[in-house]
Amino acid sequence: MSTTTKISNYKKIVNFEHSLRGDFENLNYNPTFKSSAIFFVITNKYINTKISFLNYWKIKNANIDISCQFTIRKQNGEKILRKFFKISNNTYKISLGSLLKENLKISNFIGSIELELHSSYDLKYSFPAIDAIYETKEGISLVHSNQRVYDNLDDIKLNESLNQTQTGFDIHLDSKNETFITAINGPVNLYKKKLNIVFYNLQGHKLKESIQFENIKPYQTIYLELKNFKKLKKFLKNKRGFCKIDLPTQNIFNRILVGTISNDKKNITTTHSYYDCSNTKDFIKTSNISKEEYHCYLPFNLIKNVDLEIVIYPIFSRTNLKIALEEFNKNGKRKIINKNLININKNFKEPKIIEVSSAILKAKNKAVDYNNVFCLNITSEDNLIPSRFTFGFNYKQRSIGSNISESMIVNHGKNIKGRGFYWGPVFCSKKIKTLIALSSVNKLKNNSESKSNLVKMNIYGSEKIILTKKFNIKSPQGFNLDLDKLINSKYKKKDEIFWFTLETQEKNILCKHVHLSKFGHVCADHAF
C-alpha cells in the first residue's frame, strides 16, 4: 500500500482501529476518558432539533460509569444553558425546542449544543455515537456526530490534516429546495479570517466565492445560506451541484453539517462533509490482490417504492476507474447485469450520478427482485484503487430524500475488517416508519456456499427491551426489516424514538436505517 499523502496517515487510522481498548501498556496508544460532539441547532415554527442516543457504553461495552454534560450556546458562542446527568437508561432523547421554550422562553433559535461524555474507563473513540435529528412537518433528517472540540495538542496534531477542504455533498438552489452550510468554531477568538468556497455544477464548471470575517468568536456558529450567493442560482442552472469549502475555524474537527430544506419548509435533509483527497496519492495496488477477490465494491439492496441513486464526486485520489453492476440471486449466484455501468477518468471534474433503480430496470428489462442483493464492482485500469473512496448514497421518494456520506469497501490485501455489532435509531409514530436495510457480500466474487449466520436484534426503549427477534443471514444476501410491522402499535401514539441493536458473527454486513414519512420524504443513514 502506498500512503504518500498530506491527509492524516491511513496506516495510523488502521492501526488505531485494530488496537485494543484499554491497551495502557502500549505507549503508542492514547486512551480516551472523554468523548464529545457539538451539533448545529435550529428551532423555529418549521424545524425542531432533537438529540438522541443509545447507551451503547453499557449495552455493548458493559461500562456503567458514564456521565453527560451538555451546553447550549447561541450563534455568537455565548453559553445560555447547561445540564449534567448520569447516564443510566437505555436510550435518551432531548428536544431542543421544548428545552429552550421551557427554560428560557425561546422559540426561534440558531446555535449549537455540545455534549461531553466522561468515564473512568477507556472509551477508545473521541466521537460518541449520537444523532442530531431535524424534524419538520412532513419528515425528519438526521446526522451523526460530525464536529468536536479537540482535547489537547496531541489530538490537534493527529487530526488537523483532516481539517483541510471539506466537500462530498449535494447542494441545491432552485425552485423547490435550498441548501445551507454550518460550521462551529473551536474555543479560540479569530480575527480577519477568510472563508473560501468553490462551487461546481454538473458540467464541472467552477464558481469561486469568499467571505471575509473580521472576527469569529469562540464557539460561534457559522450559518451560510447559499441563496445569499447571488451568482449561484444561475450557475447551477436549476440542477444540483457540489462544492469545496475551506473554513477558517480552528481547534475543532471540521467535518461540517450541510442541510437542504424545501422552500415550503416541510422537508429537510442533512449530511456531513468529507475531506478532499483529490490532490493526494493514497492508493492500494490491485496487482497484489487475488483476481478472485473484489478490489473495491459496494453491496446494496433496494427498497420497494424507494428510488436509489449513487453520486460519485471528484474528491478522491485520481485514477482511472471502471464500475460494473452485478446481482446475486437468493441462491448466491452472481450475474453481471452491466459491465460498463460507468467509467471514470482520473481527470473528471463533475459529479457522476448513477440512478441505480433505473439502471437495474433497464439492464434486466423486467421488474426488480427485492430478495436479491446488488453490488458495484470497481476496478482500475491503472491497478490503483483510492484508499478512501467516499460518495453520496441517496434514497428518494417524492421529496429530495437522503444524502448519506458513505464509503466503498476497499480491499487492502488482508482480511477486510468487519463488525458484528450495529445500532441505530427507530422512529415509531403515525408519521414515520423505520426499515433496516441489510446487505452482505464478502470479498470473494463467487462464494455461494456461505453458511447462514444467526443475527439477534433487540429494540430498546428507555427502560427496557421492547422487542427481540432472531433471524439468519448469509453472504451474499440482502433484505429489509420493516420494524413498523413488528413494534406494538401502542407506541406509535407516543411518537417514540427507540434504538435497535444487531449482533452477528457475520462480518460482511452493511447496515442502514431508513425512515419513511407518510408524506413521501426519506431519511436514512448508515448504522453505527
Report whether pLDDT(9) > 70.
Answer: no
Q: Which residue has the higher pLDDT, 446 or 355?
A: 355
Categorize the per-residue pLDDT at 19 as very low, low, confident or very high, splitting at 50, 70 and 90: low
At 412-439, the pLDDT tens digits run 877 666 678 999 999 998 899 999 999 9
Distance linking the first and last C-alpha atoms of the chain: 27
Categorize the per-residue pLDDT at 1 as very low, low, confident or very high, splitting at 50, 70 and 90: very low
C-alpha cell at 477: 444476501
At 84-99, the pLDDT tens digits run 999 999 999 999 999 9
At 353-380, the pLDDT tens digits run 999 988 888 877 777 888 899 999 999 9
Q: Residue 422 and residue 278: Cα distance in Å, rounded? A: 31
Average pLDDT (455-479) is 93
* Residue in the structure block whose three cell numbers are 478512501: 388
Report whether pLDDT(386) > 70.
Answer: yes
Average pLDDT (167-189) is 96
Residue 398: how many other CB atoms lie within 10 Å: 12
**At 304, which amino acid appears?**
K
Average pLDDT (302-316) is 94
User: What sign has the CA pseudo-torsion 258, 225, 209, 76?
Assistant: negative
> In the prediction, which pLDDT does 159 show?
73
Q: Which residue has the higher pLDDT, 79 or 20?
A: 79
Categorize the per-residue pLDDT at 18 as very low, low, confident or very high, splitting at 50, 70 and 90: low
Report whether pLDDT(493) > 90.
Answer: no
**3-state SS assignment for residue 160:** helix
At 278-289, the pLDDT tens digits run 888 888 898 888
Residues 6+ apart with CB under 8 A from 265: 46, 47, 136, 137
Domains contained in the chain, CATH given: 2-151 (no CATH), 158-275 (2.60.290.11), 281-526 (2.60.290.11)
Categorize the per-residue pLDDT at 16 as very low, low, confident or very high, splitting at 50, 70 and 90: very low
CA angle 255, 260, 266 (to 5 degrees): 140
> In the prediction, which pLDDT does 163 show?
61
Q: Residue 113 and residue 96: Cα distance in Å, rounded? A: 9
User: What sign has the CA pseudo-torsion 6, 276, 279, 378?
Assistant: positive
Report whether pLDDT(329) > 80.
Answer: yes
Nearest partner of 501 among 515, 481, 518, 519, judged by Cα: 481
Report whether pLDDT(224) > 60.
Answer: yes
SS (H, E, C) 119-158: CCCCCCCCCCCCEEEEECCCCEEEEECCECECCCHHHHHH
* Residue in the structure block whose three cell numbers are 427485492: 370
**3-state SS assignment for residue 485:** helix
C-alpha cell at 469: 427477534
CA angle 354, 357, 363 (to 5 degrees): 90
> In the prediction, which pLDDT does 31 show?
86
Report whether pLDDT(269) > 70.
Answer: yes
- The pTM score is 0.93
Q: Residue 486 and residue 498: Cα distance in Å, rounded? A: 13
**Region of poorest pLDDT, from 56-70, 71-85, 216-230, 384-398:** 384-398
Residue 331: how many other CB atoms lie within 10 Å: 8
Q: Residue 350 and residue 505: Cα distance in Å, rounded? A: 40
